[in-house]
Amino acid sequence: MGIRTEEQYRQSIAKQKPRVFIFGQKVDDVLDHPFIRGSVNAAALTFALANDPDNQKALTIHSPLIDEEINRYVSLHFTVEDLVDKVNLVRLISQKTGECAQRCMGWDAINALYSVTYETDAKHGTEYHQRFKKFLRRVQKEDLMVHGTMTDPRGDRSLKPAQQKDPDLYLRIVEKKPDGIVVRGAKSHQGGILNHEEFIVMPSVSLRPEDSDYAVSFALPVDTDGVTYVYGRHSMDLRSLGDDEFDMGNPKYGRYAMWVFFDNVFVPWERVFLCGESEYASAIVERFAGLHRQNYGACSAGNMDVLIGATSLIAKYNGIDRASIVRDKIIEMCHLSETMYQGSIACSAQGENTPSGVCVMNKLLSYITKLNVTRFPYEIARIAQDICGGIIATMPSEKDYRHPEIGPLLTKYLAGVSGIPTEHRMRIIRLIERMTCGRTLLVCMHGAGSPAAQKLMIGRYTDLEEKERLAKEITGIPVDEKPNLQAVRAGA
């Protein structure tokens, strides 16, 4: 098959029967649920564009694994150019949806697992890499959507997994059988997972030998028995209910997240890619997280492109677009957005090859990219709200606008520049509200890791001694000078 159509994708996921709860109700027709539909539409776009002559180059690539053209979202990165192309694709999809197609988690998991299983096998003589290659060939051949599933609930953050009072707060192996393993636990904040056909589970923290039961990675179909999904609500989800189309802000595309619970779930050995090798958990976490952080500058820039466009439009609709202070603020929004994108390009352009042949991003620059994303979109959002005005917090509903008696009042008094329909102004205001008050912005803080996590890794990978050496060389201080500062500080 190689590359599926949008319709083939929709038909495939419609056949799945996952166990899903939303607002305390078990939901059977989950993919047409108002909370889920927009995210499915965003995912479906990646299939539609792969068959669109104007976008095929961005969405498709030749796979040496199956010797066919495939959707780029299930590809391996073998060169720096592949990493740069990935970044540009991520930005393109974000521009077209104003949201997230939620396929990057699986893409990053594929590349992380391909490289780490190779290294695990080289040390331990295991068969994980061959199992994973077999799994990936099927994914590429059938053009499946695969989710990367990492974050654990984590309980008491000061304790390692095996130290938790409840051992299930990190997903773990509870039994090994001749034909597979049994796992129990949960994964939190899993964006768009029901849009996928398979998920790849990975550890979420570095592990010690005594945490070996938590060193597990595997793949399963989304509707596997024993797996339960519970919807994680957000501040604007009720806007999706009913017929108030433009009150949603972005009526076609959206995103959601699920909590995923594993109740003694069986995993066949052929789907197991790590089982007890605790020293490789950190490699999976670091590689997946780095690849995911690589994306964030580009996807956030793509979303901000939409928000900047909406802000520019509302300035025109309000008649303030020619004011120098407004132009200066919009330029600042552009500066911040492009700086995030630069980070994604930079960590890609300085990528390096792993022993498996897969190319990964520059670690340090990927952490800096994500740290910028925890800050810049919030400033862009603040400027957007500033230019939009107080109406972003007080605008009446679409139902009022459609009301035969109230509607004419709103049409008259919510008008802006003459010649611009009031409805157009209201639609743009709702889009700005959604992008600055909802999940589109909030995910920038903790998606792919918190600010503290980025700073920790930046400190780990920054070579301060080398920077000190540069200062010594310039000032004539002997490079090999190493004063006993501990003794000095102790008063010796």
Tokens linked to 324: 């120098």
Q: What pLDDT is attached to residue 485?
A: 66
Asked whether 294 and 369 are in contact (CB, 8 A), the reply is yes
Q: What pLDDT is attached to residue 460?
A: 86
Q: Please say if the pLDDT value at position 148 is more than 90.
A: yes
Confidence of residue 236 (pLDDT cuts 50, 70, 90): confident
Of residues 59 and 238, more confidently modeled: 59
Q: What pLDDT is attached to residue 228?
A: 98
How are beta strands 352-353 and 198-201 bridged, if at all?
unpaired
How are beta strands 216-221 and 352-353 bridged, if at all?
unpaired
Task: Give residue-wise pLDDT tens across range 314-323.
Answer: 999 999 999 9
Task: Give residue-wise pLDDT tens across range 253-288.
Answer: 999 999 999 999 999 999 999 999 999 999 999 999
Q: What pLDDT is attached to residue 23?
A: 94
**Domains of the chain as residue ranges with CATH:** 6-81+98-280 (2.40.110.10), 285-463 (1.20.140.10)
d(CA 388, CA 416): 12
d(CA 369, CA 352): 17
Closest C-alpha among 101, 103, 133, 98 to residue 115: 133
Mean pLDDT over residues 450-475, rounded? 88
Q: What pLDDT is attached to residue 215?
A: 97
Q: What pLDDT is attached to residue 455?
A: 85
Q: How far is CA 206 from the centre of its chain?
A: 21
Confidence of residue 487 (pLDDT cuts 50, 70, 90): low
Q: Please say if the pLDDT value at position 1 is more than 70.
A: no
Q: What pLDDT is attached to residue 476?
A: 93
Percent pLDDT > 70 in the chain is 98
Q: What pLDDT is attached to residue 262?
A: 98
Confidence of residue 488 (pLDDT cuts 50, 70, 90): low
Task: Give residue-wise pLDDT tens across range 390-403.
Answer: 999 999 999 999 99
Weakest-pLDDT range from 49-63, 160-174, 452-466: 452-466
Confidence of residue 492 (pLDDT cuts 50, 70, 90): low
Task: Give residue-wise pLDDT tens across range 76-97.
Answer: 999 999 999 999 999 999 999 9
Q: What pLDDT is attached to residue 344?
A: 97
Q: Please say if the pLDDT value at position 384 is more than 80.
A: yes
Q: What pLDDT is attached to residue 130?
A: 97
Confidence of residue 248 (pLDDT cuts 50, 70, 90): confident
Of residues 357 and 451, more confidently modeled: 357
Percent pLDDT > 90 in the chain is 85
Q: How far is CA 488 from the centre of its chain?
A: 48
What phi and psi, each to the nearest 5 degrees, are found at residue 153? Answer: -60, -40
List, in order, residues 6 or more apart from 269 with CB less than 8 Å away.
131, 179, 180, 181
Query: Environment class of residue 453 by beta-carbon count within 10 Å: exposed (0-12), middle (13-18) or buried (19+)?
Result: middle
Q: What pLDDT is attached to residue 29?
A: 87
Closest C-alpha among 190, 188, 192, 197 to residue 221: 197
Confidence of residue 294 (pLDDT cuts 50, 70, 90): very high
Confidence of residue 445 (pLDDT cuts 50, 70, 90): confident
Mean pLDDT over residues 349-378, rounded? 95
Mean pLDDT of the chain: 94
Q: What pLDDT is attached to residue 191?
A: 93
Q: Please say if the pLDDT value at position 446 is more than 80.
A: no
Q: Output the CA angle 32-35-37, nearest 5 degrees.
A: 40
Q: What pLDDT is attached to residue 21?
A: 97
Strand arrangement of the beta sheet that strand 146-149 belongs to: 146-149, 198-201, 216-221, 272-275
Mean pLDDT over residues 129-145, rounded? 97
Confidence of residue 387 (pLDDT cuts 50, 70, 90): very high
